[in-house]
């Protein structure tokens, strides 16, 4: 069973084994408004936790997507090129942005659990 973890910058990482599916949270897509473009990272690119990994542009603003974990991009959601609104329709499902092979498993524990993230949102 995949477990979702969150950052204070509103990215999520759904972890299954050594692969994390990464995207922006439901809260983040609501704040951005209608997504019109998603800049995807290159497959094979390596990130440290917190690196700029992608960009999501909406009618309101452009927002960096930071890598929630260190690792290497193994897949991107190329469907977002033609249908960036998938991020709005299903941010934490079909609107995922990229998949990362985790290089530092210990970083997963640094991210917020879903319950912690809900508490964090309530305090904003």
Task: Say if CB 6 and CB 111 are below 8 A apart.
Answer: yes
Confidence of residue 3 (pLDDT cuts 50, 70, 90): confident
pLDDT digits (tens, 9 = 90+) for 13-68: 999 999 999 999 999 999 999 999 999 999 999 999 999 999 999 998 999 999 99
Please give the average per-residue pLDDT across 79-87, as a whole number: 97
Compute the distance between CA of residue 110 and CA of residue 6 in angstroms, rounded to an integer. 9
Q: Is the pLDDT of residue 119 over 90?
A: yes
Nearest to 6 by CA among 119, 93, 113: 113
Task: Say if CB 92 and CB 26 are below 8 A apart.
Answer: yes
Mean pLDDT of the chain: 96
Confidence of residue 81 (pLDDT cuts 50, 70, 90): very high
Domains and CATH numbers, the chain: 3-108 (2.40.50.100)
End-to-end Cα distance, the chain: 29
């Amino acid at each position: 069973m995949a477990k979702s973890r969150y950052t204070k910058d509103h990215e999520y990482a759904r972890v299954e084994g050594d692969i994390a599916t990464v995207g922006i949270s439901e809260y983040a897509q609501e704040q951005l408004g209608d997504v019109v473009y998603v800049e995807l990272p290159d497959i094979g690119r390596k990130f440290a936790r917190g690196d700029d990994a992608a960009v999501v542009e909406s009618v309101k603003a452009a927002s960096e997507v930071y890598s929630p974990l260190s690792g290497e991009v193994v897949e991107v959601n190329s469907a977002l090129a033609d249908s960036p609104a998938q991020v709005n329709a299903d941010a934490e499902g079909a609107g995922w942005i990229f998949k990362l092979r985790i290089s530092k498993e210990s970083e997963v524990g640094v991210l917020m659990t879903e319950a912690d993230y809900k508490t964090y949102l309530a305090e904003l």
